[in-house]
Structure formats: C-alpha cells, structure tokens
Amino acid sequence: MSRLASTFARLRDAHRGGLVTYVTAGDPDADTCTKILTAISAAGADVLEVGVPFSDPLADGPVIQRASERALAAGMTLRGTLDIVRAVRTRIDTPIVLFTYANPVVRMTPEGFARAAADAGVDGVLMLDFPVEESGPWRTPMIEAGLDPIFLVSPTTSDGRIERSAELGRGFLYVISRLGITGARDTLAEGMGGLLERVRRHSDLPLAVGFGISRPEHVAEACGFADAAVVGSALVNVIAEAGGSAPERAGEYVRWLKSAL
C-alpha cells in the first residue's frame, strides 16, 4: 500500500478529515524550504504538496506566482525540487506529492522524471496542465516507478471526465471548489457540497478539496464533505511574511488549522 493510500485509510478509520498543505519548492531558498516542510509535517500536515516553481503558471494566483518568482530567482529547478524532497524524506514519512506543469517534466523526459522522483521519495504527481485524455505518456512511467498519478476535477468537469480521472488516478482526486486562480478567500465556494457529491458518484478515490481555504473553520467545513482540505496560498503567504522565522511560523499556522480536526 502506498503512503497516500495508507494515510487516507488511517484518516478514514479515525473518522476524521485530513490536511493537505502546499509549499513552493525553494521559497525562499532550498535550505529554508526543507526546514519548512519538516516543520509542517511535525505540526500535523497529513500530505505535503510541493510545487515545482514555473515561469508561466496558468492556475496560480498572485501569492503562489510571487513564490515561484522568488524560488526561480534563487536558482530552483525541477532537479533542485527533487533534492529538497530527498532531504526531507530522510526526516519524515509523510506522503509527498509534486505539483508541476508539464514543461519541466517533458524537458527531463517523463521516464527520467518518474525514476528520479521515485528515487527522491515522491509518492504522487499532479501535472496541472496535462488533460486526462492525453495523460498516457506521463502516467505510464509514473505507474511503472510506483508513483500515484493524481488528477484535477472542477465544477465544470463532465461526469465522463470525472470517471476517467478516477479510473486513471491513484492516491486521491484533487477537487477544485471554484473556477479561477488559486488564492485565500473569506468564505468557501457555494455549491461545494453538491460538487463533491457528484464526484463521489463517479469515484471511490479519496477527495481533497482546495482553492480558498485559509482558516480552521474552512478546514472543518471542507472536511464535512471531503476526505481532506488543501491549504495553499494562505500558507505560502505566511511563509512570505515570516522572513527568517518561516519554519516556526508555518508550523504554528498548520497546528492552528489542524485544531479544527
């Protein structure tokens, strides 16, 4: 059983929701990022999402865009991201999922990337701009390397595409609760419950819901419908504002979010 499957099974048996946290690799630098990931794991994050910084993001809002800019300016790359994961993996057993756009993976080659990611200790991969219908060239090497391919679904995803994403995916499905770009919101998206009910009719995979979650009450509300809540921009903003105390502040923020669970 993979780390992701084991984690969601444990959450299910405990009758509680999980917390998935997103951090941009190399923000503000590789060493600090390694400490941040270790700290938020110790604070109770159930799954760590590590974003590969990319110069031309399509779905990321301004907070994560600026984090990518800082990381790229500091010299972060896909291989550097895997080095961070390798360093973190020696310290923790929390599942790690890479979030990336297709271009860096295509440049490395899907086969080379899959082998390198598995060797570093990655558990799953979500490629944000690769449609499920065309996922074979990268999904097959992932499966062969023992990685979980993870797919996105949104309010506009058809039932057929949800079924296909569930059929080809492993680990969990990432459900975008609202249309648009990433970013913290004051309230969760209207209709989130109905969306998750529709996805569940077509998938037995655990569901992690994101986009807009930033407070403990958001986490609790999201986990009333989904298996886990995803917090991204709000955590990245905490890191950006914390300066040299980013690992400690990030850990405190995650413990605050987890208090709802």
User: For residue 63, which amino acid is it?
Assistant: V
Of 138, 153, 132, 51, the C-alpha closest to 99 is 51
Task: Return the bridge partners of 50, or none.
Answer: 23, 98
CA distance 190 to 206: 21
Which stretch of DSSP H or E encloses residue 49?
strand 47-51
Task: Return the bridge partners of 207, or none.
Answer: 173
CA distance 153 to 141: 22
Annotated catalytic residue, options 46, 60, 83, 227: 60
Active site residue 49: yes
Active site residue 133: no
Q: Residue 220 CB: number of other CB atoms within 10 A?
A: 15
Annotated catalytic residue, options 27, 46, 49, 227: 49
**Which active-site residues does the annotation give?**
49, 60
